[in-house]
Structures are given as structure tokens and as C-alpha cells.
Amino acid sequence: MSTIPLTSRETVRRRLLDVLRWEGPMARVEIGQHLGMSPATISDLTASFLDEGVLVAEESSDPVPGLIRGRPKVRLFFADTLGSVIGVWTGFNRIELRLVDSAGHNRASRHIERPLRNLGADELMDVLAETITAFARDTGASDVKAIGLACQGYVDTRDGIVAWSPVLGARDLPLASGLSQRLGMPVLIENDASAMAFAIAQRDPALRSGRTACLMVGDGVGMGFLINGELYRGARFGGSEFGHVRLRRGGPQCRCGGRGCIEAFLADYALHRDAQLIDHRPAPTVLMPGEDAMDAIVAQARAGDTALLNLFREAGEVLGDAVGILIQTLEPDHIVICGPGTRAIDLLRPSFEAALESQTIPELRALATIHVVESSMDLLTEGVVMQALRELDLDLARVKAA
């Protein structure tokens, strides 16, 4: 992907593509309203994209605000023949893949159980490249233009390096360049919580206004932070490692090597570990539980198991403390609690709300709207797919030579 700066016209073209990428098919008048541009300017820009085959026009029976009655209602959308992208998520010995065409339509997906934790850097990248190549071949995707990969841990998105991940053995892993060399195409990488935040914001326009903190609870605990719909980047172009903020010195063991981190109370592995140590339950046999194992623990708690109810009560208190920290340090407009861990939100909610009420300055608490988005891991690949498509749009925005 080119690093040459866009011209002023190309910047406007990029803005138009961004609107369609975020909002979906729209009429010209709607595009003009979003961008604050005149009908003549929008007509000129869209005519160029239609001539280039980037956009496709189609009459719609849906009413479009602002159109003159009796005129055909024409919406513009991305052509689906501009090349596809593959989104990948690497979890604990798991790989999720998704194939999406240039119009954003899902074409295929795949779940693979594959040991990854003990692989060296080169072997890991070989396995990922082979898995992606096989997925593209099996789905008949001969036009893949880019790969987006979401990974747990601290991810330097600028240099394409996974500095540390609890699910991968190698440190300072040059994942983007290594996979790009093996696959022969651009590869962008992202922290998985940031990827989920990006996908959630794509689905809800309200979350693309102001500051939004998405607290993802599941295999681990992570946070994606958005400012007006764009991901916040730190000094190394990474995101937040909020799950590894220490709440209680000497608390339970965390995967990062510390004790008492937020994640060590809330993540699936922490709840599963503690549940298996209660009463007569067998000792832990696996580090990372599957969805079936977590569903069983939740079901037992809902059935009235006192020990498990206390376990979720404490987890809810930690969640309340964590959200209180977010409110009082970042002052976000929106806080989203998301990820597979929301499966037990009914068990967490009473102690969560009590802890949040007692630990947060009321005036600050009133400023933030809290949303619970019951979400699956599909949002992880959706987030990096969206980012990969936007990177391809950067090239589509460039004015083609006559």
C-alpha cells in the first residue's frame, strides 16, 4: 500500500469512500449531507468512481430523505469485484478466519483448533501463512488483496510487531512483515480488543461520536478506545493494556506474570480456574476453557450454586471498579462492555452496579453512558476486515492517470 500523501482532491475522494464504508449504500443527497458538500461536487466525485468501477449505482424502493418526489431513488455502493480481504484472529491455540469481498459481504469463515503457544517465531508465521493460504484456496478466493490480523497482547500497529502476547510464545514478533513476505500481500495487525471496538463502532453510529471506551471481557480483558470513531494510538502506536492494571496487590495470578490484575479476576480462564478449585470440583486440566465449559459454570450459578454465585459477585465488583477507573481517568462519553464474557452479565450486574456507584464520583458517572453489547468473537475478524478494506480504499481514492 502506497505511503505517498494524498492530494486535496484525493483526500475528498477518500472521505466519500469512508462515508460509504461506515454507513453502507447511500444516495448522493445523503452523501452530500454527511460530507457537507454541494450536489455538484458530489455528482462530480461519484461520476468518477462509477466510471472507474469502484462504485455501482442501483435504484432502490426505499425512501431517501431530501430527494425530489418522483425522481428515481438511486443508491451507491462498493463494487464487489475490486478484490477481497481475509480477517484473522489468533487466540489460545485457536485461529478464526473470515473472507470478505470489496463490498463488505461475508463470503466464508472458518474455525481452526491449532497449537500456537509453543511455536517459535518462524514456525508460527509459517503456520499462519499456510492456514491463510489454504483458506483462500479452499474458498476459491483468488483475488485476496490484503490480510487483517487481530491478536491478544501489546501490538505495535505502526511497525507491525507483537511485542508481547499471552497466547503466543515469541516476543517482539515481526508478524506483519513476516506474513507479508510469505503471502506476497499487505498485512496489517491490531490488538483484538481494539479490533472489536472498531467493529462495534461500525455497527452503532452513536459510538463514533466523542470518546468511546470498549472493555472486552472473554479470553482476557482488553480495551479499545476510540475518539470520533478512530482508534486511539499510544507512543508505539499500540492500544491499551487496561486488563493488566493491578487492582489488588497479592491477588490472583495473571497471565502477564503479575498478580491482582483486572484480568485475573474477570477473564474466562480466571473464572474457570477458581470454579474448578471450589469444593469437590476437579483440579484444573486446561488453562483456557472452551465456550461449553464457561456455559456450564454460568448455568450452575444460575441454578443457585452459592459458591459460584459468590465468584461472579466478586467478578462483578471488579468490573465495577474497572469501569470506575475508566470514568475517572478518561472521562469517556460511552463505555461499552463487550465480548464473550457478557454471557454472564445478569450474574455480574448487581455487584457491578453497587461497586460502580460506591467508587465513582457521581458527577463524572453521570457523564458516561454504559452499554452492554452481547458479542461473539466474530467481531474480532469483522474489525480487522473493516480496517483492511479501508486501507485498500486509500489506493482507490487516488486519481488514476488518464
pLDDT value, residue 2: 59
Q: Edge to edge, what strands does the sheet with 94-100 contain?
A: 106-113, 94-100, 84-91, 144-151, 187-191
pLDDT value, residue 288: 81
Residues lower than pLDDT 50 in the chain: none
pLDDT value, residue 248: 87
pLDDT value, residue 189: 96
Q: Where are the alpha helices (DSSP H) in 209-305?
A: 263-266, 268-276, 291-302
Share of the chain above pLDDT 90, in %: 78
What is the three-class DSSP state of 169? Answer: coil
What is the β-pairing status of strands 211-217 and 334-339? parallel
pLDDT value, residue 89: 96
Q: What angle do CA 108, 114, 115 make, to 5 degrees?
A: 155
pLDDT value, residue 35: 96
Assess contact for 102 and 388: CB atoms under 8 A: no
Would you state the CATH architecture of domain 8-79? Orthogonal Bundle (1.10)
The whole-angstrom separation of Cα 399 and Cα 402 is: 9
Residue extent(s) of CATH 3.30.420.40 domains in the chain: 84-196+380-393, 205-374
Assess contact for 58 and 74: CB atoms under 8 A: yes
Closest CA to 214 of 319, 112, 334, 302: 334
What is the three-class DSSP state of 79? Answer: coil
Residue extent(s) of CATH 1.10.10.10 domains in the chain: 8-79
pLDDT value, residue 286: 66
CA dist list (Å): 32 to 15, 20, 63: 11, 11, 16
Closest CA to 91 of 126, 128, 123: 128
What is the β-pairing status of strands 161-164 and 211-217? unpaired
To the question of domain 84-196+380-393 being in CATH 3.30.450.20, the answer is: no
Exposed e or buried b for every residue in 84-112, given b needs 16+ CB within 10 A?
A: bbbbbbbbbbbbbbbbbbbbbeeebeeee
Instruction: Report the Cα 113 to chain-centroid distance in Å.
Output: 21
Contacts of 256 (CB under 8 A, 6+ apart): 164, 166, 244, 263
- Kindly state the DSSP code that residue 372 receives in the 8-state scheme: E
The whole-angstrom separation of Cα 142 and Cα 162 is: 28
Q: Model pTM? A: 0.91
pLDDT value, residue 28: 95
pLDDT value, residue 154: 93
Q: What angle do CA 109, 110, 116 make, to 5 degrees?
A: 135
CB-based contacts of 34-38 (< 8 A; 24+ apart in sequence):
37/12
205-374: CATH superfamily: ATPase, nucleotide binding domain (3.30.420.40)
